[in-house]
Amino acid sequence: MCPIPTPRTAQAPEPASTPRRAPPMRRAYRPTARVTEQETAPFVRIGHPQCALESAAPGELNLRPYYQDEGLLGAGQNTVIRQAVDLRLGRHVALKILRREPAQSADLRALFIREARLSASIDHPGIATVLSAGVLPKLHHLPYQALRIVRGRTLAEEFRFAFRPDQDEASIFRARTSIVLRVAKTIAHLHQHGVIHRDLHPANCMVSQFDEVVILDLGIVALSGVQPPSRGPNVITDPIDMFNEPPSPKLRFKAPEQLRGQQTGAFTDVYALGGLLFSAWAGLTDPTATPFDLAQITHAPAEIRSLITASLNPRWHTRPATVRAFIHHLQQWMDQSSQATPVEAQVIWSA
pLDDT in tens, 197-248: 888 999 889 999 889 999 988 766 665 543 333 344 444 333 333 333 444 5
Tell me which of 21 and 129 has the higher pLDDT. Answer: 129
Structure confidence at residue 32 (pLDDT)? 45
Structure confidence at residue 279 (pLDDT)? 92
The C-alpha atoms of residue 215 and residue 122 are separated, in whole angstroms, by 12
The C-alpha atoms of residue 162 and residue 240 are separated, in whole angstroms, by 39
pTM: predicted TM-score of the whole model, two decimal places:
0.73
Average pLDDT on 169-180 reads: 90
* Band (72; pLDDT cuts 50, 70, 90): very high
The C-alpha atoms of residue 130 and residue 210 are separated, in whole angstroms, by 19
Q: What percent of the chain is modeled with pLDDT above 90?
A: 39
Average pLDDT on 110-132 reads: 88
Distances (CA, A) of 278 to 27, 205, 284, 314, 329: 73, 15, 9, 15, 15
The C-alpha atoms of residue 240 and residue 79 are separated, in whole angstroms, by 19
Q: Is 345 within 8 Å of 203 (Cβ atoms)?
A: no
Tell me which of 137 and 26 has the higher pLDDT. Answer: 137
Average pLDDT on 258-284 reads: 91
Structure confidence at residue 219 (pLDDT)? 62
Domains recognised in the chain with CATH numbers: 67-147 (3.30.200.20), 152-337 (1.10.510.10)
Residue 79 bridge partners (DSSP):
98
Torsion of the alpha carbons at 105, 259, 206 and 162, rounded to the nearest 10: -140
Highest mean pLDDT among 32-46, 119-133, 242-256, 314-328: 314-328
End-to-end CA distance of the chain: 138
Q: What is the DSSP string of 10-42?
A: PPPPPPPPPPPPPPPPPPPP-PPPPPPHHHHS-
Structure confidence at residue 290 (pLDDT)? 61
